Amino acid sequence: MDKIVPNVPLTYLEVPFKSTWQVTINAFRVGEKPTFPNGAKSAYYHPEKVAYLDTFSPHIQLPSSLAATLFADFFHEIQGIKQEDDVLMGPCDLSLYQSINLFINDRFYVRLVPESFVIDIGHPDRCFIPFSFNQDDAYILGEPFFRNFYSVFDDSRGIVGIAPSVNFVHAGVVEGIVPNDEMPHPKTAEELAEEHKQQGQVKPQQQGILGTLYFVKDQIASWLSGIFGGASGGSSPSGNEDSANNTGIIILVVVLVVACCGGSIYLVTNFINFSASSNSMANKKEASRKVKSEHDDGVSLSSLLTRQDIEDRIREVKSSQPLVHAPRSLTVPVQNQMDY
Fold of the 11-175 domain: Cathepsin D, subunit A; domain 1 (2.40.70)
State yes or no: pLDDT of 214 exceeds 50.
Answer: yes
State yes or no: pLDDT of 306 exceeds 50.
Answer: yes
pLDDT at position 10? 94
DSSP 59: S
Using a cut of 0.85, tell me whether the model's pTM lies above it: no
In the chain, where are the structural domains located? Answer: 11-175, 307-339
DSSP 42: -
Write the pLDDT tens digit of every residue in 18-53: 889 999 999 999 999 989 999 999 999 999 999 999
* Lowest mean pLDDT across 109-118, 209-218, 306-315: 209-218
pLDDT at position 254? 81
In whole angstroms, what is the distance from residue 83 CA to residue 88 CA? 4
* Burial class, 31, CB count within 10 angstroms (exposed 0-12 / middle 13-18 / buried 19+): middle
More confident residue, 227 or 334: 227
In whole angstroms, what is the distance from residue 6 CA to residue 263 CA? 85
Task: State the pLDDT confidence band at 301, using cuts at 50, 70 and 90.
Answer: very low
Residue partners of 248: CB distance under 8 A and separation at least 6? 217, 218, 220, 221, 223, 224
Helix (H) and strand (E) counts for the chain?
A: 8, 15
Pairing of strands 11-14, 60-62: unpaired
Write the pLDDT tens digit of every residue in 51-75: 999 999 999 999 999 999 999 999 9
Write the pLDDT tens digit of every residue in 120-176: 999 889 999 999 999 999 999 999 999 999 999 999 999 999 999 999 999 999 999
More confident residue, 96 or 224: 96
* Section 310-319 average pLDDT: 74
Computed over every residue of the chain, the mean pLDDT equals: 80
State yes or no: pLDDT of 85 exceeds 80.
Answer: yes
* Section 75-88 average pLDDT: 91
pLDDT at position 251? 78
pLDDT at position 331? 46
Q: DSSP assignment of 77-88, as one string?
A: T-TT-EEETTEE
C-alpha closest to that of 2 among 152, 154, 165, 115: 165
In whole angstroms, what is the distance from residue 109 CA to residue 179 CA? 11
State yes or no: pLDDT of 203 exceeds 80.
Answer: no
* Section 176-198 average pLDDT: 82
